[in-house]
Amino acid sequence: MTRSTLALSTALAAVTLTAIPGVSASAAPKYYFQLQPVKAGPEVDADLKRYTGEALKAELASRPEWASDVGPAGQAAPGTDRTVLVAELKKRNLRGFDVTARIEKLKQEVKDPKPGARNKQLAVEVQLTVFGTTIPDAKLAFSGDGQSASEAEVAERRLAADTADTTKDVIKDAIKQAVDQAVLKLSIGKSGPMNEKHKKKK
């Protein structure tokens, strides 16, 4: 399978994170996250939204500077009184965030075979945003964008399965890019788009 991943500042994030004091493989948790429902348009079904949330949770949980469990207080349902949670976060010196993924674009397309080929081409593209708001005052603290695409030959009998698998792979790639960018901006105290100046020049 040939994959073309269109990363937004991924390489910069990967290099810079290792150079920022306190952000390393051995870093103690500094942040707490509580996952919020995935936002998406009607073209994204419930299974994909659920997978996107799971991928985001797994990506954040894999990073040593992030924690998702501070005891029973950390398991409170969104929207409930968080007094105990806020006190526990303060006690542990953790900054708390509600973290949300929003799928901006999902495109799944089956193209005609390439010249000389028998199988059709499956093209999948995903664009998404990951953002975090502070607990408990809900102020935007960081955001990151991810974009990933894949195109490969597929057999007709495998079309449905390959479409599902490829879409999940692409979502996972985009989530990692978005989290890389979001964590970098959080580390340097920047909440807006990193490429904002570039966009204004267009």
- Asked if 135 and 85 touch (Cβ cutoff 8 Å), the reply is yes
Cα–Cα–Cα angle for 116, 118, 124, nearest 5°? 105
Statement: residue 197 has pLDDT above 60: no
Count of CB atoms situated within 10 Å of the CB of 149: 18
**Cα separation values, 70 from 33, 89, 99, 133, 135, Å:** 10, 8, 16, 18, 14
Strand order in the sheet with 95-111: 2-4, 140-154, 120-134, 95-111, 31-35, 66-67
pLDDT tens digits, residue range 101-140?
A: 999 999 999 999 888 888 999 999 999 999 999 999 999 9
Q: Which amino acid is at 187?
A: S
- Asked if 119 and 125 touch (Cβ cutoff 8 Å), the reply is no
pLDDT tens digits, residue range 17-70?
A: 333 333 444 457 899 999 999 999 998 999 999 999 999 999 999 999 999 877
> Mean pLDDT score of the chain, rounded to an integer?
81
3-state class of 7 per DSSP? coil
Strands (E), 21-94: 31-35, 66-67
CB neighbour class for 157 (10 Å; exposed up to 12, middle 13-18, buried from 19): exposed
- Asked if 32 and 95 touch (Cβ cutoff 8 Å), the reply is yes
| pLDDT score for 50 | 97
| pLDDT score for 12 | 35
| pLDDT score for 194 | 52
CB neighbour class for 191 (10 Å; exposed up to 12, middle 13-18, buried from 19): middle
Model pTM above 0.95: no
- Asked if 76 and 82 touch (Cβ cutoff 8 Å), the reply is yes
Looking at the domain covering 2-197, what would its CATH class be? alpha beta
Q: Spell out the domain ranges in the chain.
A: 2-197
Please report where in the chains the tokens 């979001």 appear, as a residue.
Answer: 182
Mean pLDDT of 168-186: 96
Statement: residue 79 has pLDDT above 60: no
